[in-house]
Every structure is written in structure tokens, then in C-alpha cells.
Amino acid sequence: MQNEILAAAQKNERNVVQFLRDLIAIKSLSSQEEEVVTRIKREMEAAGYDEVTIDPMGNILGRIGSGKHVIALDAHVDTVDVGNPANWTVDPFKGAEKDGVIYGRGACDMKGALASIVYGGKIIKDLGLVDDYTLYVVGSVQEEDCDGLCWQYIINEDKLRPEIVVIAEPTNLGIYRGHRGRMEIQVHTKGISCHGSAPERGVNAVYKMAPIIQDIEKLNERLKGEPFLGKGTVTISEIRSTSPSLCAVADSSSIHLDRRLAATDTLTSAVQEIQELPSVRQAQAEVVVLDYAVPSWKGLTYPTKKYYPTWLLPENHPALENGVSAFKKLFREKPVVNRWQFSTNGVAVMGMHGIPCIGFGPGNEIYAHMATEQIAIEQLVKAMAWYAIFPLIYTGSSKLH
């Protein structure tokens, strides 16, 4: 059976490449995904999916089968923006193909994976691989702005709770079992404004912030973790201040913290670490975990805290073993088992809801968000085959024999 699946994936190479190029050509920033979702819907319907739905948030869910075991493959459909166009040597929206590689915004993160999971489903339909499982191929929205929000909605409101979710973010065809979480925190100091010609009459909020900045830099050096996911980190990504004019003392100052969470970190512990810094206490500064409340492309707002929990699947978990087995069966070699450096929708699926996740996707994460974003066609094809065989491995299907 594995030879038939590999042959079917190879046969669909040009189809998946054209589909990916179509997806790259559609700009789809967070909350602006309508056109790309519509394009995905057409491809799923043409591939013979049993049902294709777009939920009230704007996520697209393609269903294959109606068996007992519920499995989901997830790829977000939004991308970050292009940034400085001068940094690109190709048109980011053309999906240029050269020497077996596709270039463009979203090629790696993660329209390439989206194309492969859709075509993994097509192989399942074409070869009659449906068994005692229900497969959902999910194109999720708003991930780049708020990872996991889409799956909070899918689980809580769509009432879809799979047994296992495969996160198709780029893994370079490795099998991934977790990553650090993250938080977005702000620290605010208050001052008293006065004329800039006599600053001694006021209290400068920026000066109150200065020792806090130094303490946060030192805190980053003290943070700990465990060997696999690594240590927690904290960095300041933005600083702002307000004053009546540029000829006045600043009456407020704020810094934005990107806090990456180790396996032992929690929302409470991460906030307390900031609150207990001597400089924060001295300045009576306010520490706030930010909220996300931005409408989706369908106009639905689904508020959440900007707290994205760490998740780590045990190395002996059956789902991980199934993922490794699928790779071995197809490619006759052992895959790399690793973890992501960045964050994914797994923060909601497993981090918040405890649903087992594994990661498997085409593309190398080093190209994510870069002006050199690219993906190898060979990886698209191999990923397609893996997505087609994984449900059979997971359910122990007799169709493999």
C-alpha cells in the first residue's frame, strides 16, 4: 500500500505545485483570508471531499469519512506581510519555481503544508483509503496574529474535538512533539508632566522605566527550563512614552515584553517574576497580560488573553510512535524527532485542551517570515504521502496489509 501512496503523491506533484502557486498569489494577512479560503474550498470540492464547511470564524474544514476515530490535520492560511519589498529577489506573490523549489510569501509558512494536507486527503479519496476514521483537513485563520485562537473556537464553538491533531507547520519532514509557549506582557509606569525647560518640577515616567529595563535584561539570564524545549526567555520588543508635547516631561511609559515560556512556566509565575522585580516595585509599575480581540474576516470577534501555553508530548506517546511509524513505512528510514523554536496552534489544542498533537510538515522553519521564503517540491510530495498514510497507521487499519 505504501508504494501505491508514494506513486499517487508523485503523480499529483504538478497539481500540488500549481495549487500552492495559486495560494501564494493570494495575499492573506490575518483577518483578510476570505479569498484564499474560497480558493481552498474549490480545491477540496474538486478533490472529492465528503463535506466542506466554513465556520462562523472563517476556518475551513474539509471532512473525509465518518468513522469512529476523529483525526485532524491543521495548517493556517494566513501569512505575515512582505516587509521591505527591496529585500526580495523574486515577486513574493508569484510563487516562482526554480530548480525544484517554490519561492514566495507563505511558501514555507505555511501554504505549502496546506497544499500538501489537501492533496493528502485527495490521495485518501482516490485510493479508497477511508477506514474507521473521520479526517478533518483544517485551514485555520488568524494564527499569525493570535496562534491557537482558531482552535479555541473550533473546539469550544464548533464542538470538534479530535483524538489527535497533526500540526503541519514546517518541520523539514521531522516529527515534532512540542514547543515553548509565549505571552505578551506590558509594563506601565506613570509620571507627572511639566515643561521641559524645568524637568525638576515633574516626574519622568521614562526614567522610572529605565531600571526596569535593566532588571528585565538580567531576568532573562536567570530564567530556566529543561533540556528538550529549552529555557524560558524574555525580551523587550517595544518601548513607548506619552507627554503633552516634545517640550514636556513624559507622563507615562510602556514596554512590551515577548516572554517565551519553558515547560515549568505558567501565566501566574511569569507575571509574578516581573511584579517582584525591585525596580517594578519601586516604580509602582503596572504589569498587564494583553488581550486579543480582533474581528476575523467574517466579522466575528473571539476575545482571548495573549497567553499561549507550552506543550510537550511525551516521547513514548502512541501518537508520536504512530507518526514515526508512518515515516518509516513510507521512506525506509527513521525521522528526526525534534521541537519547534516558534509557537503554533498546538498552544490551544494541547496546551489549553490537552488533545495530543504531533508536528509534521514540509519546509524548513528557518525560512519562515523571511524574504527568502521557499519550499522544496520534493518535500511537498513526501508530506502529501505521509498525510495520506498517517490515519491508517494511527487506527491500525487492515488496509495497510
Residue numbers annotated as active site:
78, 143
Q: How far apart are CA 182 and CA 306, in angstroms?
A: 8
CA contacts within 13 A on the Cβ side of 242: 8
For 213, residues 6+ apart whose C-beta sits below 8 A from its C-beta are 236, 239, 255
Backbone angles phi, psi at 117, to 5 degrees: -70, -35
Q: How far apart are CA 114 and CA 73, in angstroms?
A: 9
Residue 34: exposure state from Cβ atoms within 10 A (0-12, 13-18, ≥19): middle
Q: How far apart are CA 168 and CA 185, in angstroms?
A: 28
Would you say 23 and 41 are in contact if contact means Cβ atoms under 8 Å apart? Answer: no
Q: How far apart are CA 106 and CA 103, in angstroms?
A: 9
Residue by residue, DSSP assigns 2-53 as HHHHHHHHHHTHHHHHHHHHHHHTS--BTT--HHHHHHHHHHHHHTT-SEEE
Q: How far apart are CA 155 and CA 310, in angstroms?
A: 18
Preceding omega of 110 cis (within 30 degrees of 0): yes
